[in-house]
Amino acid sequence: EDDEEEIDVVTDSERRRNHNILERQRRNDLRSSFLTLRDHVPELVKNEKAAKVVILKKATEYVHSLQAEEQKLLLEKEKLQAR
């Protein structure tokens, strides 16, 4: 019985270690994704200390501005094609 308990403890320990490794990798991937997003938002390119919520808000604003610019250009294109 003692051998079985030791095996379970080792198994639990390994499971916990594996979980910690996976969680660390997940956090690293998430951090990397935020940094990549930050680097694609012109207003944040030089802001290395931007908080995650700021990155998300500014990225949303930037996407909305790109969508508005796209609509403006599409209307301009239609006007030019109608000539």
Instruction: Using the predicted structure, report yes or no on whether residue 11 has a pLDDT greater than 90.
Output: no
CATH of the domain at 56: 4.10.280.10
Whose structure tokens read 């910690």?
Answer: 20
Tens-digit pLDDT profile for residues 12-30? 889 999 999 999 999 999 9
Per the structure, how many domains does the chain have? 1
42-57 b/e (C-beta count within 10 Å ≥ 16 → b):
eebeeeeebeeeebee
Confidence (pLDDT) at 2:
52
Crossing angle between the packed helical segments 2-40 and 52-82, to the nearest 10 degrees: 40
| pTM of the predicted structure, to 2 decimals | 0.78
